[in-house]
Amino acid sequence: MNLAVQRIQAQGLTEPASASWSNALLLGNDLVMSGMTGHPATRQAVERGTPLGAYQQTLVVLDKARALVEAAGGHIGNIYRLTVYLTDIADKDEVGRARRDFFTGFACYPTSTLVAVSALVFPELLVEIEASARLDIDLRTAPLR
C-alpha cells in the first residue's frame, strides 16, 4: 500500500520554480518540513541596517513552521520535533528563549536537537530549523505520563 503524499504550501512561503525540494509534505498524519530560515526577513533587515539576532530569527522560522502546519489543517500544538542549526553555539540561550515564548502554555515542549554549523546559505542567517508535526496529537494539552 502506498501512502498518499500531499505537498503543502503556505501563503508567503514560495518554492522557486527551480527548487529541488518541497517546503513541506503531508504523509498521512505526519507533516515533514524542510529546514527553514529567516530569509528574506533577515536580508531585508540587513538592508535596513538592523540585522535580526538569533531570537528574532528563531521566531520568524517558527512562524513559518506554524504557517505550514496550519496550511495542512493543523496548529502549533501538532509540532513535536525540532532540529535547530546555529552558526554560533553562544546563541543557544536566545534560541531557547524564543522556543519558550513561541510554545507558551504547552503541556510539554517539542523534542529538539541543537547543532552548531560553520555556515548557512546566506551570511546573515544565524538559525535554521527543521520541524516535524503530527496532525493527530496536541502538545498543548497532551497528558504527561
Considering its fold, how many domains does the chain have in total? 1
Which residues lie closer than 8 Å to 48 by C-beta, 6 or more apart? none
Q: pLDDT tens-digit profile of 92-125?
A: 999 999 999 999 999 999 999 999 999 999 999 9
Q: Does 120 reside within a domain?
A: yes
Helix 54-71 and helix 41-48, axial crossing angle in degrees, nearest 10: 150
Provide the H-helix boundaries in 28-53.
Answer: 41-48
What is the domain-level CATH number for residue 94?
3.30.1330.40
Q: What is the DSSP letter of 4?
A: P
User: Helix or strand or coil: residue 122?
Assistant: coil
- Domain boundaries, position 92: 5-9+35-134
pLDDT in tens, 37-94: 998 877 887 788 888 999 999 999 999 999 999 999 999 999 999 999 999 999 999 9
pTM score, two decimals?
0.93
- The whole-angstrom separation of Cα 95 and Cα 86 is 9
